[in-house]
A = this chain, B = another copy of it.
Amino acid sequence: MNPSPEAIALAANSIRVLTVDACSRAGIGHVGLPLGCAELGTVLFSELLRHDPSDPGWHDRDHFVLSAGHGSMLLYSLLHLSGYDLGLDDIREFRQLGSRTPGHPERETPGVETTSGPLGQGFGNAVGMAIAERVLAARFGSDLVDHRIWVLASDGDLMEGVASEAASLAGHLGLGRLVVLYDDNGITIDGPTGLSFTEHVPGRFEAYGWDVQVLEDPYDLAAVRETLARARESEDRPHLVCCRTQIGLGSPVVGTNKAHGFGMGREGAEQTRQSLGWSLPPFEVPPEVYDVFRPNAERGAGQRAEWEQRRDRALGDTRLAELWSAMYERALPPGLGALLPDFAGEKPMATRKASGVLLNRVAGAIPSLVGGSADLAESNLTSLEGEALIERGKFDGRVVYYGVREHAMAAIASGLALHGGVRPYVGTFLVFSDYMRPSLRLAALMGVPVTYVFTHDSIFVGEDGPTHQPVEQVAALRAIPGLELWRPADAREVVVAWRRALEREDGPVALALTRQAVPVLEADDVESRARRGGYVVEPERESGAPELVIAASGSEVAHAVAAARELNQSGRSVRAVSLPCLEVFLAQEPAYRESVLPAGTRRLVLEAGVEQGMAAILQPGDRFFGMTGFGQSAPWQALAEHFGFTAGNVEQLARELLP
C-alpha cells in the first residue's frame, strides 16, 4: 500500500525544511530543486525504488542518479529518511570541511551512485549504468539482474551536449530500464528558460527514440504514480518524464531564478518554514516521516535477501560462479602474465597495434572487458575479433559502437565502471581527449577504473594535420590528479601499461599510442622495470657515471636509445631513460629516481609535445626538446625531419649538452 497523500505531503515538507535548514546553516546552497521535487523524490524513494538502505552496494538495486547535483539536499534528505548511513549530524554539516554532505554529491557518501554537479555528466553515467545492467542481465539472467536506473535531470543537464549524445545512444540501444525525470521548472540560473532554451524537449527525445511523457502536475499523486508506472511497464525504449515542477515550491521565491541557489537567504528560509507551518527546531524530523520510507526499504531488504538466495543457488554452477567472480569481483585470470603477448624480438610495430593484439589475446580470459570506440574502431584497434556488438535487444556482445560521441562515451564508461560487473575501455584519437575532459576529470575524482585507449598520439599523426595532432594533450592529461597517463615507447611497454590498466582499481588509466610503427626495445626486463614509470633503457658506457642522460617517452625513446648508443660507441658515456608514465615515476622513492636520473647530471628530455609536464624533471642547464606550437599536415616522416625528431638530431643536441 502506498503512503497516504498526507504522509507524502509531510515527508515532502520535511525535505523542504531540511533543505532550508541546511542551507541556512551553511549560508549557501541550492534550494530550488529539492523544494520543487520533494514530492517526486518522496514517491520514488517510498514506493518505486528497489533498494536496501542497509546495503547500498547490493548489485541488483535500482540506481538513482541525481544528475542535477546542485540539488544535493534532495538526495541527502531522501537517503537520510530512507535509512542510509547518513544522519542528521551529517546533514547539519552540509558543505563543511570533511563532511559526507558536500555541496555536490560525491560517490563516497552511502547511497550516492555517482559524483555529480557538472551538468550532463550524471545523465551520461546513467546511460552507462543502464548498458551495464543489460549486459549483465544477458549473462546472468533476470533472476539475478533486473533493476532500473532512475535519473533526476535539470534543464541544464538537457542543454549540455554530453547529455544529448548520451540520449541519442540510449535511444539507439533501446535502454528501456532507464527512466529520466526531467525537472522541467522553466527556470535556469539566469532567469526563465525562455531566455535561452525554447526547443521542444519532448520532440527531441522522441526523435532520439525515447518514450516521452509529460507530467503537467507533478504534485498530483495519482498522476505521478500512473506516469511512473507506465515508464516502468514498457521496456523497449528509455523513458523521459517531463515534470512541470515549480522551482522552490513552499518558499517565498517560488517559480523564480532566485529560488535556484539560496537567494532567499536565512529570512526566506524562515518564511518557508512558516508557510509550511513548521514549528520543529532546525534539523528535527517528525518521527512519522521515517515511517513513510520504511516499508519500501524493508521491501527492498526482503528482495535483497531473496536475491542473495537466488544468487547463491545460481553460483552453485561453477561456470557461472567463475563468470560472476570475473565480472563482479573483477578477478583477473591467475595466469595473466602468461596470457600477455611477448613482443620481444618483434619487428617495428605501432603501439596501437600492440594494444589491439593484446586486447584480443586477453579478452577471452577477461569476460568483463567491454569496449568500443567513438567511430574509430579500425584506427584505435579496439575491436574484439569474434565478439558480438552490443545492440538494441542484444546485449550479450562486448563491443560498443559509440558513434562520434566522445564526451558521452567517456561519461558512459564511468557509468559502466560505477555500476560494476564490467571493465570498460574506450578509444578515440588522443587529440579528441579534449572532448572527453569533463568526464575524465570526474573519473579521476571518483577513482573509477576506466581505460582510455588514445591512439595517434603526437604530430606523427601526419597528413591529417594540426587539427588532429595532439601536442598539448599529454601534458593536459598529466595535469589531472589521479589520472595515469602512459605513453609507451614500444610494444613491450604497451604490455606493461595495459597490465597496469587492468590491475588498477582506484582510478583511470589513459594510454597514448602511436599511429606509426616504432622499433621494439631490445633492453632486458622491460616488462618488470617499466612498471616503475621510468627506467634505464640503454646504459651509459661507463657504468654509474653518465655524462648525460637522454630521457624520453613514447616514440622518442627509440631516438634516445640510438643517440646514446652512437655516443657511447664514440667514447662518451650517455644513458637513455624511458619514461612511459611520468606520474608513476615521480611517485617512486627518491633513491630509485636518483638511480635513474642522477641529480646534477645533465638531461636532454625528448617528447613530441609541449614542455609543460616534462618540466618537472628539468634542472638548470638541461634541455627539453619538443613542440612549441601546433603541428602541420605532412607525412609523418617529413614532420620528423622538419621538427627534428630524428636520431641524428638528438645525437647533435646531446653533443651540445655534453660536458
A residues contacting B by CB (< 8 A) are 26, 28-29, 69, 95-99, 102-104, 106, 115-119, 155-157, 159-165, 168-169, 171-172, 188-191, 195-204, 206-209, 373, 375-379, 389, 401-408, 431-432, 434-435, 437-438, 441-442, 445, 462-468, 471-472, 475-476, 478-482, 599, 610-613, 615-616, 618-620, 627-630, 632-635, 638-639, 642
Contact of A189 among B164, B378, B434, B620 (CB under 8 A): B378
Whole-angstrom distance between the Cβ of A205 and the nearest chain B Cβ: 8
Chain B residues contacting A165 (CB-CB under 8 Å) are 159-161, 164
With A159-B403, A160-B435, A479-B479 given, name 17 new contacts (CB 8 A): A95-B465, A95-B634, A96-B633, A96-B634, A97-B639, A97-B642, A98-B632, A99-B633, A103-B465, A104-B633, A161-B162, A161-B164, A189-B379, A475-B479, A476-B479, A481-B627, A615-B615
Q: Are B403 and A197 in contact (CB under 8 A)?
A: yes
Which of B169, B209, B437 is close to A437, meaning CB atoms less than 8 Å apart?
A: B437
The verdict on A463 contacting B389 (CB below 8 Å), with A196-B172, A375-B156, A612-B478 known, is: no
Q: Shortest distance in angstroms between A56's beta carbon and chain B's nearest beta carbon?
A: 20
* A26 B463 Cβ-Cβ under 8 A: yes
Shortest C-beta distance, A183 to chain B (Å), equals 13
Contact: B404 with A160, CB < 8 Å? yes
Q: Is the CB of B481 within 8 A of A408?
A: no
A375-B188, A404-B160, A463-B26 as given contacts; A97 in contact with B479, CB under 8 Å: no
Check if A117 sits within 8 Å of B468, measured CB to CB: yes
Assembly CA distance A241 to B183 (angstroms): 33
Q: Are A465 and B104 in contact (CB under 8 A)?
A: yes
* A438 near B445: Cβ-Cβ < 8 Å: no
User: In the assembled complex, which residues on chain B have CB atoms less than 8 Å from the CB atom of A97?
Assistant: 632-635, 638-639, 642
A208 to B482, CA, bound (A): 39
- Residue from the list B115, B401, B478 in contact with A190, Cβ < 8 A: B401
Residues on B with beta carbons closer than 8 Å to the beta carbon of A405: 159-161, 196
- CB-CB < 8 A to A377: which residues of B? 189-190
- Is the Cβ of A168 less than 8 Å from the Cβ of B159? yes
> Can you tell how many copies of this chain the complex includes?
2
Contact of B634 with A106 in the complex, beta carbons under 8 Å: no
Tell whether, in the assembled complex, residue B161 and residue A161 are in contact, meaning their CB atoms are under 8 Å apart.
yes
Can you report 10 A-B residue pairs in the complex whose CB atoms are below 8 A from each other?
A28-B463, A29-B463, A118-B468, A160-B406, A168-B199, A189-B378, A190-B378, A196-B375, A202-B207, A612-B612
Say which residue of B464, B472, B613 sits within 8 Å of A104 (CB atoms). Answer: B464
- Looking at the complex, which one of B432, B445, B612, B634 makes contact with A479 (CB distance below 8 Å)? B612
Chain B residues in 8 Å Cβ range of A204: 203-204, 207-208
Which 4 A/B pairs are nearest by Cβ-Cβ distance?
A: A161-B161, A102-B633, A203-B207, A196-B403
Contact in complex: B619, A616 (CB < 8 Å): no
| A612 close to B610 (CB less than 8 A) | no
> A375: which B residues are within 8 A, CB to CB?
156, 159, 188-190, 196
In Å, the complex CA distance between A373 and B28 comes to 22
A113 CB, nearest partner CB in chain B, Å: 15
CB neighbours of A407 from chain B (8 A): 161
- Nearest-neighbour CB distance to chain B for A93, whole angstroms, equals 10
In angstroms, Cα B108 to Cα A630, docked, is 14
Instruction: Tell me which residues across on chain B come within 8 A of A618, comparing CB atoms.
Output: 615
Once A165-B161, A404-B155, A434-B441 are accepted as A-B contacts, the answer to whether A171 and B188 lie under 8 Å apart by CB is: no
Q: Which residue from chain B places its CB closest to the CB of A171 in the assembled complex?
A: B199
The answer to whether A115 touches B467 (Cβ under 8 A) is yes
Q: Which B residues lie within 8 Å of A378 (CB)?
A: 189-190
Report yes or no: B190 in contact with A432, Cβ–Cβ below 8 A: no
Which chain B positions have C-beta within 8 A of A434? 437-438, 441
Name the distance in Å between A415's Cβ and chain B's nearest Cβ: 16
Most B CB contacts (10 A, CB to CB) among A169, A466, A616, A639 go to A466
A467–B376 touching, CB < 8 Å: no
The minimal Cβ–Cβ distance linking A610 to chain B, given in whole angstroms, is 6
Return chain B residues, CB-CB under 8 Å to A99.
Answer: 633
CB distance from A250 to the nearest CB of B (A): 23
Asked if residues B467 and A188 are in contact (CB atoms below 8 Å), the reply is no
Q: Are A463 and B171 interface neighbours, CB within 8 A?
A: no
Of B160, B480, B642, the residue contacting A161 (CB under 8 A) is B160
Q: Which residue on B lies nearest to A471, using beta carbons? A: B481
Q: Which of B172, B199, B408 contacts A207 (CB 8 A)?
A: B199
In the complex, the answer to whether B196 meets A401 with C-beta atoms within 8 Å is: yes
> Known contacts A620-B599, A638-B96; is A171 also within 8 Å of B198 by CB?
yes
Residue among A168, A169, A627 facing the most chain B CB atoms (10 A cut-off): A168
Distance (whole angstroms) from the CB of A579 to the closest CB of chain B = 15
A160 CA to B196 CA in the complex, in Å? 20
Contact, CB under 8 Å: A389 / B195: yes
**The one of B208, B404, B611 that contacts A616, using a Cβ cutoff of 8 Å:** B611
Q: What separation, in Å, do the CA atoms of A629 and B587 have in the docked complex?
A: 14
Within the complex, the shortest CB–CB distance from A412 to chain B, in Å, comes to: 12
Tell me, rounded to whole Å, the shortest Cβ–Cβ distance linking A82 to chain B: 22
Query: Residues of B contacting A191 with CB < 8 Å?
Result: 401
Tell me the bound Cα distance from A146 to B612 in angstroms: 46
Q: Which residues of chain B come closer than 8 Å to A156, judged between CB atoms?
A: 375, 404
CA distance A165 to B465 in the complex (A): 26
Tell me, in angstroms, the Cα distance from A407 to B408 when the chains sit together: 14
**A432: chain B residues within 8 A (beta carbon):** 118, 438
Measured in the bound complex, the distance between the Cα atoms of B444 and A629 in whole Å is 10
Given contacts A199-B171, A612-B616, contact A118 B401 (CB under 8 A): no
Q: How far is the CB of A441 from chain B (nearest CB, A)?
A: 6
Distance in Å: Cβ of A444 to nearest Cβ of chain B: 8
User: Which chain B residues lie closer than 8 Å to A475 at the CB level?
Assistant: 475-476, 479, 612
User: Please, which residues of chain B bring their CB within 8 A of the CB of A162?
Assistant: 161
CB distance from A164 to the nearest CB of B (A): 4
- When C-beta atoms are compared, the residue in chain B nearest to A165 turns out to be B161
